[in-house]
Structure 1
Amino acid sequence: MFPEANVTTNLTTPAPGGGCPPVGIQLEGVIMPPVLIIDVILGLLGNMFALWIFCFKLKAWNPNTLFLFNLVIADFLALVSLPLRIDALLRGHWVFGDGMCRINLFLMFSNRSASIALMTVVAIYRYFKVVHPHHCINRLTKRQAAGVSVVVWLLVVSPRIPMLAYNHIKGSGDRTQCFFFTSYKEASRAIIILVGMHRILTVLEFILPMAMLLFCSIRISTFLRKRQMGKPEKVRKAMRMCAAIVTVFIVCFLPTTVTTIGVWVIRSYRPWDCAAFYTFTQLTIVSLGLNFLNSALDPVVYVFSSTMFRKALLDAMPQVLLCKRNKDRKEASSSESQSTTQQELKSIPVNGGSEAI
């Protein structure tokens, strides 16, 4: 996935054998380590807390909760793989061998696909709950929801399994690198096909789910504004959930999709433009850091997507915050009660002294 280091070839001119030379670790070697470290710290803190709530605080589960729990699992798959990648970037080379390289790449790319698929499932499930409340999908049992989750995992993992079949280690000694795509012209036809399939998946698994997310969000908003005119808070809650998922989706996955298309276009229509190929390849690798930011932002999705999770989170808050929250509620209730009493007193007619006795 990450390109080979210590390359002294001029990257702006084609290599003697055709195509462009391998791209060395330069821009991502500076930007990626701190970005990935932040992703790991925030992601572990947020998802460990979310896992604790799911396992020990939720009194009952429903299909939506089960889908969100699978999203937590997908995030952990990425987070456990990132420390090895951070180490390789800081060292400047890969030291963990071929087997760990294959597993590392498999986990990283599977996380992207699984996160996208599961967020889409959550949005679609909410769409049917709101817009089509009598649809059979709303009667999913927990067992059926678990079956849906298994199918989703099979769909997203299957295209990534070929990664485990090939050696992705390049170089030797203290120059070894573990990467999925690197040079303009790959020696192995199998790797060319695999990289091409990866690029197609990267684009399709963004465009299609993004279209579905926007459709669900627009339909939910339109439906609630027409049918729930007297309940603006319900409209706001539903729209906050849709906005949270769409925002996380765009921030984390759009940059990689755009740069992947750029590399694809240059490789197909401007094979002589090595400078452009170098730039887009570097940007693609750097944008992968945003892919893993979704592991840190997904807990926000849990809060907006599940009322049960939100209530469990409030119950798990420190006692000091709970006391303050209860105090604010009591003060609001007392104020409302006083206001009601004053209104009732004003409404009592005063007809004479005998009425006042």
Structure 2
Amino acid sequence: MNKQCLLKLIPPKHLHHIFTVGLPGNLLALWIFCFRMKSWKPHAVFLFNLMLADFLLLACVPFRIDTHIRGWVYGKVFCRINLFMLAVNRSASIGFMTVVALNRYFKVLHPRCRISSMSSRCAIWLSLFIWAAVAVLRIPLLITNLLQSHDNRSVCRSFNAYQSPPPAITVYYAAYFAEVLLPWALLLFCSARIIWFLKRQEQLVQQKKFKKAIRAVAVIILVFTVCFLPATMTGLGGLALQRFDPSNCADFRRLQLVFMASIDLTYLNSALDPLIYPSTAPCSGPRSKACSGARQTSNRNTPKGVSRSSPNVQ
């Protein structure tokens, strides 16, 4: 791909809005988890890690805003660290959203499965594994020079139009696309299975715990689709165009423009994730008695053929 096909840097129009909206929501979530959370069950552990990933990602966003305004002025090392932190926390956010949705899925469809009765200790170990996995997959960003010169300014970014990308960057690109497409397909599968199951058990649809499970998975799929799918699709389109029609500068520029805007949407995920917390939040504090009463009512109304000993969907 000819360098003349590359667009000039375009200052992001909405990144500062994303930061302004997302930071208060995540600070509030941090306060709730630290001072108001009474029960640290597995779903609470996963939500806390989701919030932590979003908070750390938002902490890196001001540097992205600044680099679009005056170029990267913080040196090669911090360029790699900044992009590494962005990628790790974005990937961790995807991972924990997927785990939260899977937690709903197993609670509804497989209440007696060992996964449904996972202990908080196991949830902590699983969370540590997710953090370790996403960090290892982002090591290419730490060992590759990502600082380039463009229009007499230093540019720090992980996505570039390489004619022949380094092997480490190829691994990074493959991981980026896989971590979006595979969890998205998995979320759609879980959603379809839950809906199919509840249609067969129409009496269960009216129970509060099942409505909550449906709402949780639906919100996660919506946030996931809006925030991550556009960048993935346009990125794949750009790579395909670069490989099979490298002389088509007009279409490549259009895809670049859409891709740049779509990358901003991936940061929007950190501002929207607080919407997930209410739909999956555990019963605690003043709500605990009300939730307990709802569970007792649910058990009395449980139709024949459904075990009352099944774990509650929390």
Fold agreement, TM-score > 0.5: yes
- What is the CA-CA distance between 1:239 and the residue it aligns to? 1.5
Contact 2:140-2:169 within 8 A present in 1 as well:
no
**1:185 correspondence with 2:163:** yes
Q: TM-score, normalised by structure 2?
A: 0.85
Gaps of at least 5 residues in structure 1 are 1-13, 316-357
Deviations 1:265-285 (A, max 9, x none): 111111111222222123212
What does residue 254 of structure 1 align with? 229
**1:98 correspondence with 2:76:** yes
Deviations 1:207-228 (A, max 9, x none): 2111111111122222233335
What does residue 173 of structure 2 align with? 199
Deviations 1:57-82 (A, max 9, x none): 01111001001111011112211111
Comparing 196-205 with 99-108, which one deviates more in the overlay? 196-205
- The correspondence for 1:264, drawn from 226, 235, 239, is 239
**1:45 correspondence with 2:19:** no
- The correspondence for 1:165, drawn from 140, 143, 156, is 143
What does residue 97 of structure 2 align with? 119
Contact 2:105-2:213 within 8 A present in 1 as well:
no
Q: 2 CA distance for matches of 1:230 and 1:114?
A: 33
Q: 2 CA distance for matches of 1:195 and 1:284?
A: 18
Contact 2:57-2:86 within 8 A present in 1 as well:
yes
SS of the counterpart of 1:137? coil
Q: 1 CA distance for matches of 2:98 and 2:59?
A: 23
- What is the CA-CA distance between 1:136 and the residue it aligns to? 0.7
Aligned length in residues: 286
Q: 2 CA distance for matches of 1:167 and 1:207?
A: 27
Q: Relative to structure 1, is the Cα distance of residues 230 and 185 closer, same or farther in structure 2, using a 3 angstrom cutoff?
A: closer
Matches within 5 A, 1:39-78: 39-78=18-57
What does residue 137 of structure 1 align with? 115
Comparing 71-80 with 275-284, which one deviates more in the overlay? 275-284
- What is the CA-CA distance between 1:158 and the residue it aligns to? 1.0
Contact 2:21-2:271 within 8 A present in 1 as well:
yes
CA RMSD of superposed structures (Å): 2.1
Q: Relative to structure 1, is the Cα distance of residues 161 and 138 closer, same or farther in structure 2, using a 3 angstrom cutoff?
A: same
What does residue 276 of structure 1 align with? 251
**1:218 correspondence with 2:192:** yes
SS of the counterpart of 2:4? coil
Q: 1 CA distance for matches of 2:80 and 2:47?
A: 27
**1:25 correspondence with 2:8:** yes
Q: Relative to structure 1, is the Cα distance of residues 103 and 22 closer, same or farther in structure 2, using a 3 angstrom cutoff?
A: farther
Q: 2 CA distance for matches of 1:289 and 1:153?
A: 23
Q: 2 CA distance for matches of 1:102 and 1:151?
A: 23
Of the two, which has the highest radius of gyration?
A: 1
What does residue 151 of structure 1 align with? 129
Partner amino acid, structure 1, of 2:34 = C
Deviations 1:279-307 (A, max 9, x none): 21232122110001010110111111123
What does residue 14 of structure 2 align with? 35
Q: 2 CA distance for matches of 1:296 and 1:109?
A: 16
Contact 1:114-1:153 within 8 A present in 2 as well:
yes
Gaps of at least 5 residues in structure 2 are 288-314
SS of the counterpart of 1:136? coil
What does residue 238 of structure 1 align with? 213
Q: Relative to structure 1, is the Cα distance of residues 209 and 248 closer, same or farther in structure 2, using a 3 angstrom cutoff?
A: same
Q: Relative to structure 1, is the Cα distance of residues 230 and 161 closer, same or farther in structure 2, using a 3 angstrom cutoff?
A: closer
Q: 2 CA distance for matches of 1:228 and 1:212?
A: 24
Contact 1:23-1:182 within 8 A present in 2 as well:
no
Q: 2 CA distance for matches of 1:157 and 1:243?
A: 28
What does residue 300 of structure 2 align with? none
Contact 2:141-2:169 within 8 A present in 1 as well:
no
Contact 1:202-1:260 within 8 A present in 2 as well:
no
Matches within 5 A, 1:282-293: 282-293=257-268
Deviations 1:298-357 (A, max 9, x none): 01111111233xx55x77xxxxxxxxxxxxxxxxxxxxxxxxxxxxxxxxxxxxxxxxxx
SS of the counterpart of 1:152? helix
Deviations 1:172-206 (A, max 9, x none): 996111122334425xxxx5323332332232112
